[in-house]
Structure 1
Amino acid sequence: MVVPSVSQQLAAIRHTLAKTVVPALDADADFAREQAGLVLASLDWAMDVVESEHRYEVVEHTDYRDLLSSLLAMAPGDDVGDAQAVLDATAESPHDLAGLREQTRALKRDTDAVFTLLARQDPAVALTARQLVSRVAVRQTERELAWTRMTGFPRNVAADVAGVLREQSRGAREPAA
């Protein structure tokens, strides 16, 4: 017995809706047809990103872990709260998606706290911190645009999420002032 993948399940649902359910709707059922179109578009989006979801989270985890490490290296003394403990605790990323997301949220929270501390430091330190954060923000924006390209909200995004993640996986580990 072969168990279908999530992508295959979504494709089967989409096929059934498009070939059986939508044609069966009354021709004057405009709202129902519109809603069915939105469901199909949502399935198209899910099928586009589902295979990349774990890799997306791994790349984001790596970016924020590297950024926090770089910011901590610039931080003065003990004013960083539990950021070092969070960095240490995230040395090995979990294999499950929920655990990975939880760690990444903690990394982002502490990155924000350490950045806020550094932004009040010497102007040169603050500038370097802003540059590091900006690099990671640009990478995150590239991922998010590719992730949402099929939703219709970002216009003219050609890059697919798998390609962006492949490229970012190769070019990871940018921070370090």
Structure 2
Amino acid sequence: MTGGSPGRQDIGPVRQSVDGSTLSTSLEAAAARLRRRFGGRLLEEAVFRGELTYVVAPSDWLRVLAYCRSAPALSFDRLDCLMGDHLPERAERPFEVVAHLTSHTHGHRLRVKTALAEGESLPTVTGLWPSAGFDERETWEMYGIAFEGHPDLRRLLTTEDFEGYPLRKDFPLQGTVGGRIRIDLRGKI
């Protein structure tokens, strides 16, 4: 996520391609619809291998994703994955969350990204795609990015007393980290 200026009013047709690829007609139409709806709230737009990526502010995260899910002309009915990343070279907003979406109706894909500061959270998207539950839990556990309103934000892969966030770039590469493993077969996964 480089470049992009907040409040940009006219981002016009998609022309910036990292690899020279172009968008399908249906994805170009979806991009035009998103630009009309959100305008300057789409901070950045990029094309790579025929797939489109938008960068939005954390405050627009849920609004943009809800529109992608519900607008019949877009119909992004599947969340392929939601993931985090830690980019410490971006001092002010070193965390990134990316949602990878697919529209089975229209046969295209889209990525929506946002950048976060340490301690900043996002609203959950489990109300749009229930499958986001595990992805948000993993992102919280591995990077420390919380999702407000998540129905069950608890550890998924590490022990309850585990300290730190293992996928952050500043996580120690040596030493012992861990604790007791408690298994409750009656509880939820």
- Tell me the TM-score normalised to structure 1 length: 0.28
Q: Which has the higher strand share?
A: 2
Q: Which has the higher helix share?
A: 1
Greater C-alpha radius of gyration: 1
- Tell me the TM-score normalised to structure 2 length: 0.27
